[in-house]
Amino acid sequence: MPFWFWNDDLKEDELLRQIADFEAHGVYGFVIHPRIGLPKDTGWMSDKMIGFMKLAVAEAEKRGMHVVLYDDGMYPSGSASGQVVDENPAFAERVLDKMDLSDGGEPVLEPDWNLVAVIDRTCGKSLAVIDRPSGGTMRGLHFLDENPANVIEERPPLADILNPEAVDLFIRLVYDRYHAELGQYFGNTVIAIFTDEPHMSNGTTGILKEVNRILGYDFTPHLADLWYDDHENSGQLRAAYARAVSIRLEETYYARLSRWCEAHGIALAGHPGASMDIGMERYFHIPGQDLVWRYVTPGKTALEGPHSTMAKCASSAMIHMGCRRNSNELYGAYGHELTFEEVKWLANWCFVRGHNLLYPHAFYYSIRGPRWDERPPDVGPNSAWWQYYRPYADACRRLSWLNTDSKHVCETAILCDAQWLPQISAKICLQAQRDFNYLELRSLAQSRIDSDGIHIAGMNYKAVILEKDLNVGKEFLSDIKKIADAGRLANFAEDGLQMLGFLDKLVKPDLVLNPASRNIRYRHVVKGGMDFYMLFNEEFEAVSAELCLGSSGAWEWWDPSTGKITAAASNQAVSFEPGEMKVLCVKT
């Protein structure tokens, strides 16, 4: 379901033509994304824009297609393209800031600044902590100047989404309006509303009270540690504060949107602001992530760095929250040099980690003038590969089908925080064909822990990895001790072989390659009484190996691109070209 950039002077006939062209190329849904380049008379949620949306949704219904609505114009979400602040200037985004004070000096506050506290630092100096307007802006819908030498975009003000009243206004301006205009399509043609990487500031008026409530102690004496290393544990204090503000954002923003969508028979879709924000995924009915700016490419970044965790972040949240779908907005700002081989590789990188809904970023309504270079490339009708698109789209649908309403066969979990996902142990597991899911510490409260492992949402994790850099709060220590007492906890520090040896004692390997290869990623699901193995050669070298599986039965190869099914011998080496995805079905 691609992002469809509405980025120029829209015409009804052209919108209908493009929808028909999508369908002819195997694309049966889209995200309506009003985008920079719209004329001023097509403003955010204007009657004219809503009219075009009604046309597109009605056409989708007629064709049996699906639509996701985008909740802002443009991003980050939460400001209604500046309309929240236009209606109430007090709802502009705020931040926590500091003023270093001279000896005996008093803070001098500007209008609309609030004094939070005056702190005496350990070095003998003092500072004042204030909250003030941030002056932050979002990307808007209109060019102020389209001159190629000096393209200027509109920049509407950001709203304070840590303020629940500001969020309530955002919901009224956007979500309530969508329901009033398009509610008849909710839950059928319109399946979701997409919220896009809401921007979290570090504070707002009254944030300290909420931080104290969430942390369970008064953070006031530690405020200076937000900017200075005044104590040995300053880093931990900053992390604790950030975690508390993140939880407050869950309360003020994500939980409100989630409740609204649930009450109106529609899914909350989209993604949080960071690749490791698994805590916020719990409020999405379709947990999602964002694969942009060449965050992941074939090679090192596929397995290392914070963005390497994003696919497992969303798919793990889907499983543990009992959702049907999880998603990825991918290809955005990968540049005009993006190739079709990379397009397919990135999709397979997502699928083998459990995604089952892709939002290709993007199909452009128009490529006129500066639009061609706005977060390129167009990966749809204006791309070099559009004539070859349908087999790719069909393969994506088939691989999504495998990851939907199926049982993930996995008995290893890696513990994580709401905002931090271990990478090193994940890389070791992926290269050794030991599949895993991330398990947020807060999810332990919804789990049953016994001698057989951790039981949650139909999963039974017989081995649990605790990476040394995970900051485990005291509220989770008793559950960690239960896991350790059951002999199910792998404390991972540096020795990958030792960790794998521990896993082998607790979890029977589900896939063994002979000879061994660190190139192959895999995912095992059960659907319709059959076992399916996604096998993806993620690297640049061809691989040939015999496969020893944890399930037994007759083998069949299911080709994702063609749908063709062929019998396979279970005692022969299997060859994988670089970047090749194979699907093996085992019938009992």
Q: Which residues contact 462 (CB under 8 A, 6 or more apart)?
A: 411, 412, 452, 453, 488, 506, 507
User: Would you call 117 exposed, middle or buried from its count of C-beta atoms within 10 A (0-12, 13-18, 19+)?
Assistant: middle
What is residue 83's predicted lDDT score, i.e. its pLDDT? 98
Whether pLDDT at 103 is above 80: no
Dist CA 493 CA 96 (whole Å): 36
Element (H, E) at 533: strand 530-537
What percent of the chain has pLDDT above 90? Answer: 92
Running DSSP on this structure, what letter comes out for residue 200? Answer: P
- CA–CA distance from 226 to each of 135, 200, 238, 248 (Å)? 20, 16, 5, 17
Write out the two tokens for 71: 């909740």
Q: How many CB atoms lie within 10 A of CB 265?
A: 12
**Other CB atoms closer than 10 Å to residue 504's CB: what's the count?**
13
**Which H or E run includes 235?**
helix 234-249
Alpha helices (runs of H) in 403-542, residue ranges in sequence order: 424-431, 477-485, 496-506
Q: From residue 48, how far is each of 6, 300, 476 by CA, in Å?
A: 13, 47, 52
By residue count, the chain amounts to: 588
**What residue ranges do the domains of the chain occupy?**
3-81+161-195+249-404, 409-509, 512-587
Q: Which among 195, 373, 185 has a CA at the least distance from the CA of 266?
A: 185
Instruction: Characterize the bridge pairing of strands 327-330 and 357-360.
Output: parallel
Pick the CATH number of 512-587 from 3.40.50.300, 2.60.40.1180, 3.40.50.720, 3.40.50.1110: 2.60.40.1180
- With contact defined as beta carbons under 8 Å apart, do 251 and 260 qualify? no
What are the pLDDT digits (tens) for 190-245?
999 999 999 999 999 999 999 999 999 999 999 999 999 988 999 999 999 999 99
The whole-number pLDDT of residue 248 equals 96
Please report the pLDDT score of residue 104 as a whole number: 72
**pLDDT the model gives residue 381:** 98
Per residue in 463-521, pLDDT (tens digit) is 999 999 998 988 899 999 999 999 999 988 778 889 999 999 999 999 999 999 999 99
pTM, rounded to two decimals: 0.95
446-475 per-position pLDDT tens digit: 999 999 999 999 999 999 999 999 989 888
* CA 509 from centre of chain: 29
Query: What's the pLDDT at 185?
Result: 98
Question: Beta strand pairing status for 3-6 and 363-364?
Answer: parallel
Residue 495's pLDDT is 81
Q: Which two tokens stand for residue 461?
A: 């994790």
| Helix, strand, coil % over all residues of the chain, rounded to 5 | 35, 25, 40
- Position 122 confidence tier, pLDDT thresholds 50, 70, 90: confident
Q: What distance in Å separates the CA atoms of residue 182 and residue 189, rounded to the nearest whole number?
A: 10
What is the distance between the alpha carbons of residues 208 and 231, in angstroms, rounded to a whole number?
A: 20
Two tokens, residue 315: 């798919």
CATH topology of domain 3-81+161-195+249-404: TIM Barrel (3.20.20)
Question: Could you tell me the two tokens for 349?
Answer: 């990188």
Q: What is the mean pLDDT of the chain?
A: 96
pLDDT of residue 149: 85
> CATH fold of 409-509, please?
Rossmann fold (3.40.50)
Long-range Cβ contacts of 303-306 (<8 Å, 24+ apart): 303/423, 303/426, 303/427, 303/430, 303/431, 304/423, 304/427, 305/423, 306/274, 306/275, 306/276, 306/421, 306/423
- Can you tell me the distance from the alpha carbon of 98 to that of 111, in angstroms, rounded to the nearest whole number? 16
- Residue 232, Cβ neighbours under 10 Å: how many? 7
Q: What single DSSP character describes residue 372?
A: G
What does the alpha-carbon distance between residue 56 and residue 69 come to, in Å, rounded to a whole number?
Answer: 11
pLDDT score of 96 more than 90: yes
pLDDT band at residue 407 under the 50/70/90 scheme: very high
At which residue do the structure tokens 């949620």 appear? 45
Report pLDDT for 98. 95
Tell how strand 520-527 and strand 554-558 pair up.
Answer: unpaired
DSSP letters, 391-431, are HHHHHHHHHHHHTSS-EE---EEEEE-SS----HHHHHHHH
Cβ–Cβ < 8 Å for 308, 301: yes
User: Is 80 exceeded by the pLDDT of residue 410?
Assistant: yes
Q: What is the pLDDT of residues 377-406, one digit of tens each?
A: 999 999 999 999 999 999 999 999 999 999
What pLDDT does 571 receive? 81
Tens digit of pLDDT for each residue in 301-345?
Answer: 999 999 999 999 999 999 999 999 999 999 999 999 999 999 999
| pLDDT tens-digit map of 44-71 | 999 999 999 999 999 999 999 999 999 9
Angle formed at CA 406 by CA 400 and CA 411, multiple of 5 degrees: 115
